[in-house]
Amino acid sequence: MNPFAIHLIVFVCIFGAVLFGMFLRVILPEQHLSDDSKDTIRLGIGVIATMSALVLGLLVSSAKNFSDAQNNEITQMSTNVILLDRLLAEYGPDTKEIRDLLRSMATSTLDLMSHDNQQNLEMQPTLAGNDIIHAKIRALSPKNDVQHSIQTQASSFAMDLGKLRWLMFEQGRNPISVPLLSAMILWLGIVFTSFGLFAPRNATVIATLFLCALSVSWAIFLILEMYKPFEGLMRISSAPLRNAVAQLGK
């Protein structure tokens, strides 16, 4: 889903609810807008506004946790790549092909992070070379105990890399809760309809409600942006992986 397109849709819906409320104020009979009616409506709207605030907070927390998790996994992946390369270098010249594959995998991942794209790193880890690297490490023929120990450690690091890629792949598939987002937008529409219903029709009030609708829709935009950590305004830094690639082969 395109965060900016959803931001515009949400803004149109919310500000449209304000205008709809103002239209209702014109056509409703006066008894529907009595003081008792207003008090009752405001109590109900207070409940809906509270639920909306709770859901908004939940979505912000979930999006932040998702973005932080992806950032931590990139950092962990970068660390594992460097350590694996060092182990393979210590093993000997027999691992040159594996080290080249490792560098190619890290570089391709960095390219995905460095350019806007729709894949969001949703590339099958097996296609990224994890399985090939792991298989080639297991196919090594250690000549002494030191090489055997290095082979075991390298195999473990290669498995960890594969796990991280699969974890990031699975986390990136529809991470946001669409029902929660839809419910919050509906509730916000009801709340802003009530604002339009009771607000006086003047330029100051309309401008204020316009800015409120814009602010709320922008908050939803930022939430959706955090669910796309490898593109857009809220993309995470590729510095750890870039530094790792610079260290490979040395």
pLDDT of 118: 46
Residue 74's domain spans which residues?
A: 3-247
Q: Count structural domains, the chain.
A: 1
Report the pLDDT averaged over residues 155-168: 84
| CA 35 – CA 39 distance, rounded (Å) | 6
| CA 159 – CA 219 distance, rounded (Å) | 39
| CA 153 – CA 202 distance, rounded (Å) | 71
| CA 227 – CA 1 distance, rounded (Å) | 10
pLDDT of 174: 62
List pLDDT tens digits, range 49-100: 999 999 999 899 988 988 888 889 889 888 989 999 999 999 989 898 898 8
CA angle, corner 22, sides to 17 and 24, nearest 5? Answer: 90
**Alpha helices (H) in the chain, listed in sequence order:** 3-27, 35-91, 96-114, 130-138, 145-171, 178-198, 203-226, 239-247
pLDDT of 114: 67
Q: What are phi and psi of 60, to 5 degrees?
A: -65, -45
The secondary structure of 131-153 as a DSSP string is: HHHHHHHHT---SSHHHHHHHHH
Report the pLDDT averaged over residues 3-25: 91
pLDDT of 192: 94
Asked whether residue 3 carries a pLDDT value surpassing 90, the answer given is: no
| Six-digit token string for 114 | 């460095």
* pTM greater than the 0.85 cutoff: no
